[in-house]
Amino acid sequence: MTIDFKTISFTASSAPDAEAAREELVALYGDTPLEEADVIVALGGDGFMLQTLHKAMNSAKHIYGMNKGSVGFLMNRYSTDKLHERIAAATENVIHPLEMKTEDAYGNKHTALAINEVSLLRQSYQAAKLRVDIDGKTRLAELTCDGLLLATPAGSTAYNLSAHGPILPLDTPLMALTPVSAFRPRHWRGALLPEKVVVDITVLEGEKRPVNAVADHQEVKSINHVRIRQARDMSVSILSDSDYSWSERILSEQFSP
């Protein structure tokens, strides 16, 4: 499939290399105001790419990233050559984020979206105690751990991987539920869940063992409960170079030494 576009807007992180790259590309290709562009070219690292994807949610714009950061797993290689041709030939991946709804210890309710993962993390020196319900059925009556995260395929190579969770191909209809330093049940290593399920996590002994919830970069402190589901009514389009697609990167990651 050929990506149909006419206009490009360039955006960059605050890093000097990213800002310099933006100036270089604008001089070569011009620049359309972001709200009018068909394609947004994001220059920076994975953190900046996530911010750009969040801002472009449900905008029908395509996001094409080029690496001017540290990790750059979500980014394509940086080059000033044949940018229009690269974008036109790129592979499109449509991502539906996770929706996190929380209630904190004061009764306040919060909603946030996550492209990578929703994570619950202990706030103090004491381990968290959590109850996990899937589609209304209790699957873990009590999980004692440092944290618990629910990752999308897009986020499976991020925090999920560092917590020894599974890598998921981008087009798989699954999510990874992965514990962080689980103490009880000691041998529980997580679960693969269908993308359509609703996950409810309740904090047990919250006053004694406070827990924070994080959706990508948005944090809610001292939560009592979180509900997570895939937001099928929300989407964002990310483009990867045809010769090294995002699906290929995730597959290659499983065979890296």
Binding residues: 46-47, 116-117, 146, 154, 157-162, 218
Concerning whether 171 is annotated as a catalytic residue, the answer is: no
Which member of 4, 17, 46, 241 is catalytic? 46
Please state the residue numbers annotated as binding site for NAD(+).
Answer: 46-47, 116-117, 146, 154, 157-162, 218
Q: What is the DSSP string of the chain?
A: -------EEEEE-SSHHHHHHHHHHHHHH----GGG-SEEEEEE-HHHHHHHHHHTTTS--EEEEEE-SS--TTSBPP--TTHHHHHHTPEEEEEPPEEEEEEETTS-EEEEEESSEEEEEE-SSSPEEEEEEETTEEEEEEEEESEEEEE-TTTTTTHHHHTTPPP--TT-SEEEEEEES--BSTT---EEEETT--EEEEEESTTTS-EEEEETTEEE-SEEEEEEEE-TT--EEEEE-TTS-HHHHHHHHTT--
Indicate which residues carry an active-site annotation.
46
